[in-house]
Amino acid sequence: MRIREIRIYDILVPFGETAYTMGERTSVSSITGTILAIATDEDLVGWGEVTPWGNTYLPEFTGGVRAGLDVICPGLIGSDPLNIAAIYQSMDALLYGHPYVKSGIDMACWDLLGKASGLPVHALLGGQMVSAVPLNCAVYHGPFEEMAERISAYRDHGIRIFSTKPGGDADGDIRLYSRIAAQRADGETYIADANRSWCVPTAIRVARHLEQYGFFNLEQPCDSYEDCLAVRKATRITTALDESLVSFDDLARAYRDGAAEIAHIKLSRVGGLSKARLIRDFCEVCGLSVSWATSGGTEICDAAATHLASTTRKKNLFGLWSCREFNTEVFADGGPLLRDGCALISDLPGLGVSPHLDKLGRPITVYG
């Protein structure tokens, strides 16, 4: 099997009237993304996607995806997409770094491998360990009453893990989290996810306040890894790292330093399924919990993250954030079924998704 052509599609993913706010760093009501189709000489098509969460959340943006693909894609025409290790080696030879650019191609190749073998991606990644992946919902920052209302609505859908976003001010955030703690129901886990918005003194103050509850986790309190480590050393609260974990070396350093007990991994940030499954295995060997997501996107990205999440051992699986949480449009059939607070993935070959071609429109670029 050989790659005959690669088609690139531009998409706009709307959030309706939702303006998702994370501290002072970013507020978005829609995101732009890239869906790509790898077509082969055997008439199989694999689908991949890279949809960054705006321009200011991570060092990835849609313009960078398009520029990177323009460098990589011509060099992949004629390659065997089922030899994913060789595909990745070729991508690295064509473009150094920029893992988020490569994640969509990697995803499409796994989709093709599943379709060619008649197996779902989760079988190719080692096999399902859980059939229902617990969902972690994102409660974006706002007045307490609005956040409590959103938590209640998620609770009605069976969700028990709430990632709550602070405002950035220590006194205000302590008051906010005191009120959030008071409305907690039995069995619920809460995350104070600052998305890098706190300075070290603020993070330590809030974290020490949260220690008393026993059901809060702290996630990525500060911008740099070193600052997050300083907070971890000054507190006893269970900690997750998210944006600081890009490479396998980052994860190994965090484990060595005792910087976190939970790794929150977004597929695009680490370079796709091929890189993320190594992180899964490392976390299982070292006894870390792992939470899965993609930066943003459609049913295609959501399927890839859910396939991998379902192959994580139950005792190591913290949860999954569905990137479709705020989407108001459906771009493909076959995405994960979200039910009773969990994501369920199908056993269809590959990723199991069928994009709505009318929603994608004409490709903006065709290579090959």
Catalytic residue among 102, 115, 165, 275: 165
Parallel/antiparallel/unpaired status of strands 365-367 and 3-14: antiparallel
Alpha carbons 142 and 351: distance in angstroms, whole number: 36
- Among this protein's residues, is 102 annotated catalytic? no
**Beta-strand runs (E) in 252-357:** 262-266, 289-293, 317-320, 332-333, 337-339, 342-344, 354-355
Q: How far is CA 43 from the centre of its chain?
A: 30
- The rounded distance, in Å, linking the Cα atoms of 80 and 271 is 19
| 266 flagged as catalytic | yes
Only one residue has tokens 């790794």, namely 263
- Burial class of 41 by CB neighbour count within 10 A (0 to 12, 13 to 18, 19+): exposed
Close Cβ partners of 206 (under 8 Å, ≥ 6 residues apart): 166, 170, 173, 174, 177, 192, 198, 221
What distance lies between CA 349 and its chain's CA centroid? 22
Per-position DSSP letters for 139-181, written without gaps between them? E-SS-HHHHHHHHHHHHHTT--EEEE---S-HHHHHHHHHHHH
The one catalytic residue among 233, 266, 275, 359: 266
Catalytic residue annotation: 165, 266
